[in-house]
């Protein structure tokens, strides 16, 4: 019997990419969908079963062909989507800064009280409308050049509630920091968010300026935070199956027909100009201008082995 070679895909930093871990979580997720009688369960199970890579000139692997189910909660697809969004966002931010070199970045987090399954989706929809309204307020819109926002949901396993909060990366003109007519304190952001949401309590709001002298690392961190998973698989794949089934069903309903990430004003214009609008392509997740040259002939094929629970070179 020929011994099979375990597949390994390393980053340029030498770290193994988490194909196996995400595929194992994908299989658990597909089992939950089957138990919940979702028709897409079988398709989700087939996600990323066969991976075809081409080698770059420097010996690394670049995915060029596979099939992804694109289900919002699929751990494989969520991982690829997060990488794609993060890399595209960095391109957009760099172009925005090139066009407005004196512009500044802010990282804004908006939250509301925890909610439960029956009100999770309406609360998310309400937040979407409220943030649009927030950006229409005169003092907010005065110096706002562009923004990107995403919604993250975390699960409180103690009481079965959900916390939904928005991560927003703002790009503002340099005037924002000049005088009380332009600068918006955290207390003011909180007041505006409470007004936009029509809340009868003080919501949790946090705003941080990304300082110019260390903006590269902070900006990268802000981009990754904004582009990260909407829901971590650890929130719906635990050691409590009954709880996982309830959470999976709740999240499937809440995330249906919603956007993982959205752009506004200058960022939306740049995204269109850079032709970064193909959200369904989870194969090409890196910088489209990447200089990685592919070899003409060397192809690596990895196939998932259900019995051995790993990818092997075929």
pLDDT at residue 194, rounded to an integer: 98
Range of the domain at 2: 1-70+284-314
Render pLDDT for 158-204 as a digit per residue (tens, 0 to 9).
999 999 999 999 999 999 999 999 999 999 999 999 999 999 999 99
Q: Whose CA is closest to 30, among 10, 8, 46, 48?
A: 46
Say if CB 10 and CB 60 are below 8 A apart: yes
Residues 37 and 7 in one domain: yes
Residues 14 and 37 in one domain: yes
Residues 163 and 198 in one domain: yes
Residue 56 lies in a domain: yes
Residues 151 and 57 in one domain: no
With 60 as the cut, is the pLDDT of residue 1 above it?
Answer: no
Render pLDDT for 270-306 as a digit per residue (tens, 0 to 9).
999 999 877 789 998 875 445 566 656 689 999 999 9
Residues 154 and 48 in one domain: no
Say if CB 312 and CB 23 are below 8 A apart: no
Residues 140 and 192 in one domain: yes
Residues 251 and 157 in one domain: yes
Residues 113 and 216 in one domain: yes
Residues 5 and 94 in one domain: no
> pLDDT category, 215, cuts 50, 70, 90?
low
pLDDT at residue 293, rounded to an integer: 62
Residue 75 lies in a domain: no
Identify the DSSP state of 307: T
Residue 48 lies in a domain: yes
Name the percent of the chain lying above pLDDT 70.
Answer: 93
Residue 78 lies in a domain: no
Number of domains in the chain: 2
Render pLDDT for 60-81 as a digit per residue (tens, 0 to 9).
999 999 999 999 999 999 999 9
Residues 303 and 237 in one domain: no
Residue 171 lies in a domain: yes
Residue 79 lies in a domain: no
Helix (H) or strand (E) holding 311: strand 310-313
Residues 53 and 135 in one domain: no
What Å distances lie between residue 137 and 5, 126, 129, 187, 198, CA to CA?
Answer: 59, 17, 13, 15, 14
Residue 139 lies in a domain: yes
Residues 220 and 90 in one domain: yes
HSE-CB at 268 with a 13 A cutoff on CA atoms is: 9
Residue 80 lies in a domain: no
């Amino acid at each position: 019997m020929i011994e099979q070679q375990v597949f390994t895909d390393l980053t340029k930093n030498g770290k193994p990419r988490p194909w196996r871990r995400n595929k194992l979580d994908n299989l658990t997720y597909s089992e939950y969908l089957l138990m919940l009688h979702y028709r897409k369960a079988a398709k989700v199970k087939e996600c990323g079963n066969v991976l075809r890579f081409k080698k770059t000139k420097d010996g690394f692997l670049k995915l060029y062909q596979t099939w992804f189910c694109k289900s919002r909660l699929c751990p494989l697809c969520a991982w690829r989507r997060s990488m794609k969004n993060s890399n595209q966002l960095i391109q957009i931010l760099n172009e925005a800064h090139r066009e407005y070199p004196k512009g500044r970045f802010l990282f804004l987090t908006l939250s509301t009280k925890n909610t439960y399954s029956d009100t999770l989706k309406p609360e998310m929809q309400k937040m979407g409308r409220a943030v649009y309204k927030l950006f229409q307020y005169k003092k907010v819109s005065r110096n706002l050049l562009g923004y990107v926002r995403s919604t993250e949901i975390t699960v409180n396993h103690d009481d079965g509630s959900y916390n939904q909060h928005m991560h927003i990366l703002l790009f503002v003109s340099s005037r924002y920091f000049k005088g009380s007519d332009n600068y918006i304190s955290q207390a003011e952001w909180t007041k505006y968010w409470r007004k936009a949401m029509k809340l009868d309590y003080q919501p949790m709001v946090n705003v941080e300026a990304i300082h110019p002298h260390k903006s590269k690392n902070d900006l990268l961190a802000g981009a990754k935070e904004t582009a990260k998973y909407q829901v971590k698989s650890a929130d719906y794949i635990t050691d409590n199956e009954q709880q996982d089934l309830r959470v999976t069903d709740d999240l499937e309903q809440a995330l249906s027909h919603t956007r993982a990430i959205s752009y506004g004003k200058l960022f939306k214009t740049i995204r269109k100009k850079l032709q970064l609008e193909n959200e369904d392509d989870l194969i090409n997740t890196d910088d489209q201008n990447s200089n990685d040259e592919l070899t003409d002939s060397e192809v690596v094929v990895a196939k998932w082995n259900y019995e051995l629970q790993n990818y092997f070179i075929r």
